[in-house]
Amino acid sequence: MVRTSIEVVSVRAGEERDEDLVRELTGLWMAQRVDQGASPEAAARAVAEGRLRELLRRCDVRAWLARLEEAPVGYLIVSENPFGLAPHPEVAIEQLFVDRRVRRRGVGHALLDAVVAYAERLGAEVVATHVPTQSRDANRFFARLGFGSVVVRRVVPTATLRRKLHPEAKPELVAMLRRRRGLAPAPLRRPIG
């Protein structure tokens, strides 16, 4: 079986020579957003607002585009020291996407090769990533490559945290939530008969 070669190229927004690459990456970025449940309209709106271009212009962010037979099939975006608290340089994989039609053909590995070379140039001791708990395939992929679980990242909507910190602010809302969740004491029931 002949394996097609995968080309991985660095992408920077704002550089004229990279404009075609940015357009290709943008198409894949939209596909990834739709793949994760966003509507095509919401993905197009995010592109129109310039979120991706803005991200690709940051000096602490790097992106690579993977091509298979000259067609864009995947991308990877990383940031340096995402929290700025690590005593040593660190590279964090922010997004890794491979088109469903070409998965299991080495595209992800080729993209990660570019990240390893970049991390080594930076002197980074670790490469980190955030993987959604429910994404079984992604978790298996990263685990096979030696990524281990270090922390549990918990998130909460701002409104929920405010409510939890200050339940006295709207007691009727808290009472309603308790009823919904079955936390309120059950009403007394009369015996039948």
At residue 2, does pLDDT exceed 50? no
pTM over 0.85? The answer is: no
Please check whether residue 94 is in contact with residue 79, taking contact to mean a CB–CB distance below 8 angstroms. yes
Which of 72-76, 80-84, 113-117, 144-148 is predicted least confidently? 80-84
Q: What's the whole-number mean pLDDT along residues 142-158? A: 83
Average pLDDT over residues 137-157: 84
Q: Who contacts 176 (Cβ-Cβ below 8 Å, separation ≥6)?
A: none
Over the stretch 158-188, which tens digit does the pLDDT of each residue have? 888 888 888 776 666 666 767 777 665 555 5
β-pair type (90-98, 71-80):
antiparallel
Mean pLDDT of the chain: 82
